[in-house]
Structure 1
Amino acid sequence: MAPLVYYLPNVTDVTSVTPYNHAIAVADLATESTLLTYPAAPPAAVEAAFDRVVVLRSGLPPVRAWRASRIADRLLDAEDGVYLTTFHYAPALSGYLSDRRWVLDVYDDPMQYVYNRDSRVQPITVRGLLSLLDRADRAVHTVHPSTPRTFSGDVRFAANGADVEGLEPSFDVGDTLRLVHASSHDAGLAVTLEALAGLEAGARLDVYGDVPERHAARADALGVTNDVTFHGPTDHGRVRRAVERADVGLCLLGDRPDWRYAHPIRIGEFLAAGTVPLASDLPGVRDLTRDAGVLVSPTSIAVESALARLADCADLAAQKRRARERAEYIPWHEERRWFARQVLGLDQYPS
């Protein structure tokens, strides 16, 4: 075991997201643990897991990075201390500035800065970030191992998912197919609306998250307004209850390089809720769902065809049970513990 400092910004109260669980996992194994975060204190469960929590105050990323690196160097022993950071700018810069062993938590692809078209970020800045990340002593990646983009000279991998204990599936099937889109990212939503417009069997779609208003206008233009409810930003607990009630969960990502090898957390939640994932056929998604999901090309024709088959499926309840069984088969708690062991250099897989 070893003492650890983890620089994790913006810890949300969504208990299933990857960094939330990584934080609790590493704090549980470390002999002494400190969480550095910004701009506010973390949720109570995360704060309680650490021996101390420091909220960084400066609004300037370079200043936060420097202060964080000094805190890590002061708290950690040069011989066995571990400084864990996420891949974001200020945490990564602080890892580089620190004199302690620097381990990266790559729970998402840093290239999202480019593909999300963040106007504040220029490609040359991202190239600098990627070069910086490669200086880490070790990087644990929560993606499919076939990803071509890895960092550091000591590359490790971990899996992703959602605890089955937190979701209670309902395996009943009604007369109308119940669909759920549970993400503030609107990828695949336009395709889904077009598929609904052509679906003879009919379906009900609940959309959760802060999606652009153009989708409501598009639903109206397609004549499916009565089949779609836009709930807007919603408490995560309520979203989970909606996922439990749904028959099909939508995760229709485009074949972007930063999504191709990802393990989407919503897929893990769909499986745990006994909700059949209708998702893009990408390596990371395929690895999570195996035969428990319906994987398609994210086009309106392919999605409409898949929905028609699901609406006419005589054993939909059995498919929902298969989804839950897949979630129960994956040892999420062990996977998270394995992540923590790799961070702390305890590399033998627990028996």
Structure 2
Amino acid sequence: MSAGLSTARLEAVLERFAAVEDELGRAADGGSLARLGRERAELLPVVEAIEALRAIDAEIGGLDELIADAKTDAEMRALAEQERAEAGARRDAAAEALQTELLPKDATDARDVILEVRAGTGGDEAALFAGDLFRMYQRFAESQGWRVEVLSVSEGTVGGYKEIIAAIAGDHVFARLKFESGVHRVQRVPATEGSGRIHTSAATVAVLPEAEEVDVAIDDSDLRFDVYRAQGAGGQHVNKTESAVRVTHLPTGIAVAVQDERSQHRNRARAIALLRAKLFDIERERLDTARADARRGQVGSGDRSERIRTYNFPQGRVTDHRIGLTLHKLDAVMAGEALGEIVDALAAEQRARLLASESEAA
């Protein structure tokens, strides 16, 4: 058994799971119930993988005894040897699955996210591309059963967005979208281009895990609030009511604005949540930099200025530069249908790198 699957380590997981279940049965306050519930949900797949592996080990043990028994006739021994080979293959797969479950987890994987898409170089075409990207994520989110709530919009002059910020809530949203942060490049002939010349434009995507109050303490005295009239679509309401809210964190100078709700109170709450996510992200980046060795297990550098993907419309292909993956199904990707293939490939590469790092450390 490998160091990662040592008996002591597996027993420790099982003991902790039993302790959590016991504490859950006795917990009275909502905070403890939520915390223990999250820990149980994280441990359960590991426990199930351990039990599956041990069931196969027991099966193999029984077959080995049958094969070694001198009283076993030749036909039965041949059948047992065939089953033993099949069980061995299943054990290898179960051990690999357990090894993956035991990999260090990102504590933020289960969280909802703040998605920011901003037009980069390319003027109007970049804004149009930013709109295409946001709709791609919106459709992908819908296919996953997630909820999308637009928080702030700055529209482009000919369509699309100079910037759009949205909250996405659902099951393990950050785990699925965390590799989308970076520069996305598009190569296509703009609708305004009469000569048919291909242009290259870019948009920047940021995916921030939503932060909880326990993650980031914000002193009210460090905040400045400004209210103003919301801009953009919305009918007469936006011209009459100062419902949009901008909050500035004075120590860092970070300012965020939310204008999507008619309620100033609601916009204020969403602005604080967005600010908290940004401050939490800064702290996570600082810790990542401090733990430079851990970054070897990451897909890409994590730098938001890194060009991560190219969408080539004339050739109908999408290329993710971090893992060298090219899909010749650009329309399906932009429709959110095939984005999952890229997301899954990135997650698989991350697991492979983490497994390699674990093997080196063992």
TM-score scaled to structure 1, two decimals? 0.28
Larger helix proportion of the pair: 2
**Greater Cα radius of gyration, structure 1 or 2:** 2
TM-score scaled to structure 2, two decimals? 0.28
